[in-house]
Structure 1
Amino acid sequence: MRDKTEQIIKAALDVFIKKGFQVATTQEIAKEAEVAEITLYRKFSTKQNLFITAVKTVIEKQFNSHVKKLAKAENTEEFLSGIIYNRLEVLSKNASLVKMLLSESLMGNLAEEINLSTLIFSSLKNGLDIHFDMLNKNVDTAFIARQLGGIFLSFIILPIEQPFHELDESGKEEVVKKYVKSLVIE
């Protein structure tokens, strides 16, 4: 039973990424998942519920990890490097999903619980708050979170020669170092 649910979620993500939420149909998702359409409705009741479940599954696995752990670093440069590296890697590997979520968000089709830009901003701000509170530094963490968000967004929507996750390790470190230097925190 769990395998069918995972099979449906994977198929749903594939179809939603290709077509977007509005255009995708449960019939296409069922065909992609190799299950009867009624099975989708038994497990998720609506296309919206399936979409939310599929997106939350990815967000929980990919986007909400690491920040709090990284926030405990005593060195701010090390902390920012870790966040930038992790987020660029995750966003780069999931670029199709991220683009679809941004598109759906701009069209007003996303529930707040899966609004990617809000989730990324909140996650970053929380991690920054933890880090700078630990260091007893009074820093505008919302501003830094917005700067980081701009870095991540630019890496997804602006043309690049090679996706971050395809760079070799030294290439990744060079990109991260440039971005960390661009964040002046006093």
Structure 2
Amino acid sequence: MILFYLKRKLDIWPSVPSTRTLKPLSKSFALLPPPIPWDLGRPAPLGIRESGADTSKSKLPCGYKDLVKDKGLIMTWCNQLELLAHQATNCFVTHCGFNSTLESLCLGVPVVCLPQWTDQSTNAKFLEAIWEVGVWLKEDEKEIVRKQEFVMSLKVVMEGERSQEIRRNANKWKKVGQGGSSDNLINNFVYHLTNA
């Protein structure tokens, strides 16, 4: 299962990528094997919605929900931590917010990074180049992530030799997370020191 979770961008209210980025992503989504939960983010507050601002789902191409109805679930909220912890989750397409970054590391889930603003680019850099647990989606000269780039990035994370390395690195992080094998060994060591 691939979990999509893309959030806030400064210049638009609905906390989703811009329409220019969302359309190629939605086309890619239709090509992927099910099941795929896609959290588009919360809808705009009532006052902003009334002002004519687009809502999350209105940025999707017309008829899109029908096209993907058998592939996944498009929603405006999900329990991200529960989905990331599910054993069927193989990949996390994320905006690389701080919480999402920590959760994916602690749960050992490889990522496809699509940072939107502020610290998210730094987090994406660490996820891809330093910790090597994912791939950063690259935008073209018009700041659009093309369908081919997206599909290629997913294949890197989910198939082949590099995928195995990414999974090994993600599992290393899971082991040091709370309840992981390294965490348990340290707790046992401290327990024996304090109770000896």
**TM-score, normalization: structure 2?**
0.28
Structure richer in helix, relative to its length: 1
**TM-score, normalization: structure 1?**
0.29
Structure richer in strand, relative to its length: 2
